[in-house]
Structure 1
């Protein structure tokens, strides 16, 4: 008889910047890039390592994290949400810290870090909890929410996982990657007893570099306050599983060629932006829709929406430092009729619609920015992560992670979530995480593989 899955907490402590650090208190206002993320549950990322834990590795991780927080000290602070008319802001008081949990699981790491379906609740137990900003409004209470928490979990078969949970409104993937690169470099230096690593890419905290001539922040903030009472944390569905799928470079080329050939048949130009990202996302979108197909008579006039994130730094009309600390991503939303996606040329339709949205963002990514929050509430599918952010390149001194998982927040019951990572071996492939119920995951897996063979 199988032993029930269990994670036992061995230690809980808090990590601060080094005691000799002279760090003054800091308050960071939120920008219009940050406000929409107040509507979402925290970001959750797992790093699995199939190696024996080095001696005193939790001590090494604590020491190196402390050194890292000397540079990224706002992450030790809190998101404060005061009553109206005051605005939410990030506050570091000078004596704040990050929650650090050490745990042990009674299962095998090879099971939890595989590509096969794994229960979302089991994966979630390897991550620390953070309260979401999606609480009910109370006009007399100031909410104080930690920005970052970390959990280290070891397994019975000699492996371990590092789990990060962070508030979306405090840091995007670019900022988290810089933080992880700094932390891993300090740890690697301590592990190898080399001359201590010196971090030179100082984070840029000045929010005044983000210009807001049309008061977009004010508009979005008011929308968020108005809808706050309607935001509800989803109840965990214990039947949900997460699986990982992989598109090799040859798979991606096959999908692209299929789209090009379809366009030739009808004498149409193929989509211009057939990137790894767009190709993979659209293929998975079609597969998801086929599995979720409701056979509704209204499908021909029912619009479906896929939401994704794109770099804001590269689209601003002015320069800001690449080391800018915080969120700097824009929101894209692809709209297609359900009947068009389910048509035999659905993949072509999806990529062409994606092209239209990409062109709009290139032309003016702030166009329609005042609708970011309300439009994202209509999403059917949301994409998180990017193959351009190389989390597999993060090395603490024991090699790259065997597997990286990005887990959806509490909205996984309301919207399908696709998570993306670049291939671990940097071969130009794409890792795709999908969350579905167990029965639908079985159907999706079959469809994903069979459709690929038929292209």
Structure 2
């Protein structure tokens, strides 16, 4: 029987950047070709669960430290301005802009919601503040002003607390969000410890001119976005409580076992093994195959292409220097292609990882090759991967230790696209934490396939 669940809002306010002795100047940041494709996606949503903050913890301290962090990341207190076409969307901060800050309480305990077992996406979503999506809310006859960031703090019946963060994808990638959260947490820890002085040294870089665009890729992508029709709203989004998220783990020994299996299968058929058997590629390939086998029992296997989309670093691939503290998006779109019949064959893992090899080789050779198709090609995805084990959100400390659990939620979790979320894992040394979103019945099948497959390797 499902546990009773309810979230009651206790307070709602707005938190502004508050420099002690100066005024933050207005800023208007143009979007780059890295940002434009994200206008087609729902906002990014991340949940941080903490079992028991110290007695001196208060939401007032969280608000004060948030205000201090926003002094450095002040565009996040601003808005995404979407004018009428053909004018360009921009990130705009003006004096007085602020971040929505909600304080709530839940009737359930944190153990249930932060576990690894299937948990209702409806319940998890209620711990996150809402932001309008650029695509779902777009009207080409009306200019839009959309907030970039919102925060919700939820206290649980067993003294646990969650921090829910919702942000516009077009404003910041995971690297930028990580730097912002690290800044916020550092100020919070300083206030809890009553430190008289704390200096944040990693100043964000706001100058967008460092992103070069000699082929006018931005113009091409922006024109495509303006010409897109709004996707139909899935009627299940507001009513379907049958969608759940579960967490699965691949330890370093599990990863080694999967790699060994792939290499041995290649020896049998006298083929070279995949080159890029990293933690990321190996773990994603294994989860991908399990997801496909869940669907296999419902549909006939076809010799048709399937596509898995993922994000790759753009900063490391540019042929010129961009500061690591660059504020905004700087990731590229990878799209792995393979035939369904090959992926569900006996050597499906080999096929999946070799398909990754092909896409990685293309990104290394020229990550902007085919970039003018980023938006339209991502419409064809069957699986989308969000998050990365390289971004250590578990290492963020607000003053009461690392999070008990971190959940990354996508706006695609209502059946249109299968979603895989990744974390490095709280206590895994060289392992991977994998979040999967499915219906209750399919999640049961996936769980059996995931654990059973590891035993058979």
* Band of TM-score, shorter chain: over 0.9
**1:201–1:323: 8 Å Cα contact kept in structure 2?**
yes
Q: What is the DSSP-based 3-state SS (H/G/I as helix, E as strand, rest coil) of the residue aligned with 2:169?
A: coil
Corresponding residue number in structure 1 for 2:411:
409
Q: Deviation per CA, 1:47-102: give whole Å up to 9, x if none.
A: 00011453352111101000000000000000011111111110001210000000
Corresponding residue number in structure 2 for 1:16:
16
Corresponding residue number in structure 1 for 2:66:
65
Alignment partners' CA distance in 1, 2:427 and 2:2: 34
For residues 120-269 of structure 1, what are the structure 2 equivalents within 5 Å? 120-135=121-136, 137-230=138-231, 232=233, 235-236=236-237, 237-269=240-272
Alignment partners' CA distance in 2, 1:382 and 1:229: 20
**1:8–1:105: 8 Å Cα contact kept in structure 2?**
yes
Corresponding residue number in structure 1 for 2:446:
444
Call closer, same or farther: CA 1:71–1:287 in 2, change over 3 Å: same
The reply to whether residue 418 of structure 1 matches residue 420 of structure 2 is: yes
Over aligned residue pairs, what C-alpha RMSD do you find? 1.4
Q: What is the DSSP-based 3-state SS (H/G/I as helix, E as strand, rest coil) of the residue aligned with 1:442?
A: helix
The reply to whether residue 30 of structure 1 matches residue 66 of structure 2 is: no
Alignment partners' CA distance in 2, 1:30 and 1:4: 44
- TM-score by structure 1 length? 0.97
Give the total of aligned pairs.
454
How far apart are 1:142 and its partner, in Å?
A: 0.9
Call closer, same or farther: CA 1:426–1:22 in 2, change over 3 Å: farther
Alignment partners' CA distance in 2, 1:28 and 1:339: 46
Q: What is the DSSP-based 3-state SS (H/G/I as helix, E as strand, rest coil) of the residue aligned with 1:70?
A: helix
Corresponding residue number in structure 2 for 1:350:
352
Call closer, same or farther: CA 1:167–1:177 in 2, change over 3 Å: same
Call closer, same or farther: CA 1:219–1:232 in 2, change over 3 Å: farther
Q: Deviation per CA, 1:282-304: give whole Å up to 9, x if none.
A: 0000000000115655x442110
**1:234–1:411: 8 Å Cα contact kept in structure 2?**
no
Q: Deviation per CA, 1:233-279: give whole Å up to 9, x if none.
A: 66423110000000000000000000000001111110111000000
How far apart are 1:19 and its partner, in Å?
A: 5.3
**1:136–1:228: 8 Å Cα contact kept in structure 2?**
no
Alignment partners' CA distance in 1, 2:58 and 2:230: 44
Corresponding residue number in structure 1 for 2:292:
289
How far apart are 1:193 and its partner, in Å?
A: 1.0
Call closer, same or farther: CA 1:54–1:387 in 2, change over 3 Å: same
- TM-score by structure 2 length? 0.97
Call closer, same or farther: CA 1:51–1:14 in 2, change over 3 Å: same
How far apart are 1:3 and its partner, in Å?
A: 6.3
**2:309–2:378: 8 Å Cα contact kept in structure 1?**
yes
Corresponding residue number in structure 2 for 1:6:
6
Q: What is the DSSP-based 3-state SS (H/G/I as helix, E as strand, rest coil) of the residue aligned with 2:230?
A: helix
Corresponding residue number in structure 1 for 2:436:
434
How far apart are 1:40 and its partner, in Å?
A: 0.4
Q: What is the DSSP-based 3-state SS (H/G/I as helix, E as strand, rest coil) of the residue aligned with 1:102?
A: strand
Corresponding residue number in structure 2 for 1:333:
335
**1:47–1:403: 8 Å Cα contact kept in structure 2?**
yes
Corresponding residue number in structure 2 for 1:389:
391
Call closer, same or farther: CA 1:231–1:321 in 2, change over 3 Å: farther
What residue ranges of structure 2 are gaps of 5+ in the alignment? none
Corresponding residue number in structure 1 for 2:97:
96
Corresponding residue number in structure 2 for 1:107:
108
Call closer, same or farther: CA 1:233–1:90 in 2, change over 3 Å: farther
**2:17–2:98: 8 Å Cα contact kept in structure 1?**
yes
The reply to whether residue 276 of structure 1 matches residue 279 of structure 2 is: yes
**2:413–2:437: 8 Å Cα contact kept in structure 1?**
no
Q: What is the DSSP-based 3-state SS (H/G/I as helix, E as strand, rest coil) of the residue aligned with 2:228?
A: helix
**1:190–1:196: 8 Å Cα contact kept in structure 2?**
no
Alignment partners' CA distance in 2, 1:447 and 1:218: 45
**2:39–2:170: 8 Å Cα contact kept in structure 1?**
yes
